[in-house]
Structure 1
Amino acid sequence: MPTLYHSPNSRSTLILLLIEEMGITDRIDVVNVTVARQDGSGGPDARNPHPEKKVPYLTNGDDHIRERGAIVAYLTDMFPDTALGRPVGHPQRGKFLGWLFYYQGVMEPVLVLDWANVEHAALHTTFRDLDAVFSCLANALQDQPYLLGGEYSAVDLLLSSPFQWLPDAMPQHPSIQAWIQRCANRPALATVMAREAAGSQLV
């Protein structure tokens, strides 16, 4: 059985939400571990097999997966009947992977650099800037409720996630704001956040 190494209220919370949305909570073991926090609390946990002691980290036998986008792709491929992914052969497989990689390689770095007030021309050239990221999202959502069309998918979960944690970063684009709200209104989010607040694990 796959095992997720998780620390409450961290980046790995998104993977808990994915598991909840997919309805596979009984098919994934979750191990809560400590991690070093930005406020100086916490620290590395010897039980965590991640080489840098970070989360999320997914193991499945000898296969170990790090980074949220990769874990999203792995789990949605492993459980294709849940319909949150786009398996090999699906006509939207390329778009699905493109959004996952866009988040990891472009969107998250841009959001973090903006939050940290780091400015350099090379960063904008390499990663784009906030206006470019928001324009990309707005264009995708112009005529459809979700990034891949009419149905919610794992890419909506991943790309809307920063705005659940940092609402002040929400752009002033009506289509993006409506999309973020649609993602936030899903019952799985309330379920997982209540569990995180209680500090409990999946059972």
Structure 2
Amino acid sequence: MIRLHHSPGTRSVRTLWLLEELGVDYTLVNYALDKSLREPGYLSLNPAGRVPALEIDGVALFESGAIAEVLCERFSPDSLGRPAGHAQRAQWLQWVHYAETISQHCANLTQQHLMLREDHMRSPIIMQLESKRLAKTIGVLEDVLAQGDYMLGTFSAADIGVAQAVGMGQKFVRLDPFPHVADWIDRLSQRPAWGVAMKDADLFYPQDFYDPWPLPDS
């Protein structure tokens, strides 16, 4: 039995996308980003009160990179995953977890633009700094994707995790300076599983783009 606890537009998208690519049976439980994630029943699955949480064979997992490793090792070690001893195993692990390097800046910008609802709570300095840091993390991918259509030559869970993070990042950083990354995102967006995973993502980010506030005149 596999059950995914999910909220559209969040990190749980990468787990939903992976499940769709794997073609395994699962049950999807949707949540709003509200107090329901703080209820004792949910906290028993993810004590941080966030998504995702994945129930699989009586075990609850709540870190998306670890979830990707477990699912790939079980259902697709040689295609979406890279098994122990594979020449690309280290690189695969690095990119699966690099999604969080990108996501931390997306989360900080999301807080500034969406979660802090009063203007006086927001910081133009943080917006500017985090936008530049986010752009730098996305720029790391440009040289990698200049060498092939996918991060490891063939499509894998590494593409799923990082592309989901870049998809969030596109709300705050434009991809014009990164044409190989933009082409990669466009290529991935044609996959049917992308369409399933990204459904209703705009409910979380109602604007197409969020510009950082300009710094005050010195």
TM-score range, shorter chain: 0.7 to 0.9
1:62-89: CA deviation from partner (whole Å, max 9, x where unpaired) = 5332121111111111112572111222
TM-score of the aligned structures, taking structure 1 as reference length: 0.75
Conserved 8 A contact 2:22-2:76: no
- Equivalent-residue separation in structure 2 for 1:61 and 1:166 (angstroms): 33
Instruction: Classify 1:113/1:6 alpha carbon distance in 2 versus 1 (closer, same or farther; 3 Å).
Output: closer
Conserved 8 A contact 1:15-1:56: yes
Q: By how many angstroms is 1:185 displaced?
A: 1.1
Equivalent pairs counted in the alignment come to 184
Does 1 or 2 have the higher relative contact order (CA < 8 Å, sep 6+)?
Answer: 2
Partner of 2:146: 142
Does 1:179 pair with 2:184?
yes
Conserved 8 A contact 1:80-1:87: no
Does 1:83 pair with 2:87?
no
Q: By how many angstroms is 1:14 displaced?
A: 2.4
Q: By how many angstroms is 1:8 displaced?
A: 4.2
Partner of 2:11: 11
- Equivalent-residue separation in structure 1 for 2:62 and 2:199 (angstroms): 25
Q: Percent identity?
A: 28
SS of residue paired to 1:129: helix
**Uncovered stretches (5+) of structure 2, i.e. residues with no partner:** 113-123, 203-218
- Equivalent-residue separation in structure 1 for 2:143 and 2:174 (angstroms): 16
Q: How does 1:106-145 map to 2 (within 5 A)?
A: 106-114=101-109, 116=112, 119=126, 129-145=133-149
Q: 1:189 aligns with which of 194, 197, 205?
A: 194
Instruction: Classify 1:19/1:176 alpha carbon distance in 2 versus 1 (closer, same or farther; 3 Å).
Output: same
Instruction: Classify 1:114/1:187 alpha carbon distance in 2 versus 1 (closer, same or farther; 3 Å).
Output: same
**Uncovered stretches (5+) of structure 1, i.e. residues with no partner:** 198-203
- Equivalent-residue separation in structure 2 for 1:53 and 1:88 (angstroms): 32
- Equivalent-residue separation in structure 2 for 1:17 and 1:100 (angstroms): 14
Q: By how many angstroms is 1:156 displaced?
A: 0.9
TM-score of the aligned structures, taking structure 2 as reference length: 0.70
